[in-house]
């Protein structure tokens, strides 16, 4: 896998060797990555001009394997599998870093489930990436609870590339990593 910047857009090219691994093998490996490498790390975001640090924890890992997210948001198979493959290739931190603040909202679902009993606010961050010539928005949900921030969820949403950067032209070149 390789990642390079074209302007402000991160361009990922997945390794063709990913097909050698079953979906189950990839999920087992991703589980280990979360346990051994990512869980407990903090990712910096800017909220209202101030830096916040969102913790990656077991909730982040659990939600990572969800295709249908709360309140009807659902990733297509392409979006879900691309997100999984980027992480399997070892680029999870690049995927969730350098995102721009999008919006915040109060938790309107207090009492809806145990995940919503005591949240204060949700903060949403977004950036656009290109993976194997397809443009996606990376949408990151950060949950604020008692003044602490948790990286709650991440999802991809496929978008038309002219809407993000008219100067970007997808390429079909793929780099192989052995």
Q: What is the pLDDT of residues 79-117, one digit of tens each?
A: 988 998 999 888 889 899 999 999 998 876 655 555 555
**Inside any domain, residue 168:** no
Ranges of residues in the chain whose predicted pLDDT is under 70: 68-73, 108-119, 161-178
- Look at the chain and report how many structural domains it folds into: 1
153 membership: H or E segment, kind and range: strand 148-158
Containing structural domain, residue 34: 2-163
pLDDT, position 113: 56
pLDDT, position 168: 44
**Inside any domain, residue 9:** yes
How many other C-beta atoms lie within 10 A of the C-beta of residue 20? 8
- The whole-angstrom separation of Cα 37 and Cα 33 is 5
**Inside any domain, residue 155:** yes
pLDDT, position 117: 57
pLDDT, position 73: 66
């Amino acid at each position: 896998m390789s990642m390079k910047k074209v302007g402000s857009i991160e361009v990922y090219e997945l390794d063709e060797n990913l097909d050698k691994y079953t979906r189950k093998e990839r999920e087992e490996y991703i589980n280990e990555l979360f346990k051994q490498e990512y869980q407990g790390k903090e990712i910096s975001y800017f909220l209202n001009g101030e830096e916040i640090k969102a913790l990656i924890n077991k909730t982040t890992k659990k939600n990572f394997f969800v295709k249908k997210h709360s309140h009807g948001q659902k990733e297509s198979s392409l979006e879900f599998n691309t997100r999984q493959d980027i992480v399997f290739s070892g680029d999870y931190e690049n995927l969730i870093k350098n995102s721009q603040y999008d919006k915040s909202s109060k938790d309107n679902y207090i009492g809806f489930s145990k995940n919503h009993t005591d949240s204060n606010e949700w903060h949403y961050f977004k950036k656009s990436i290109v993976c194997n010539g397809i443009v996606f928005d990376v949408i990151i949900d950060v949950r604020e609870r008692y003044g602490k921030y948790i990286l709650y969820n991440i999802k991809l949403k496929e978008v038309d590339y002219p809407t993000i950067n008219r100067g970007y032209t997808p390429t079909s070149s793929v780099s192989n990593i052995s």
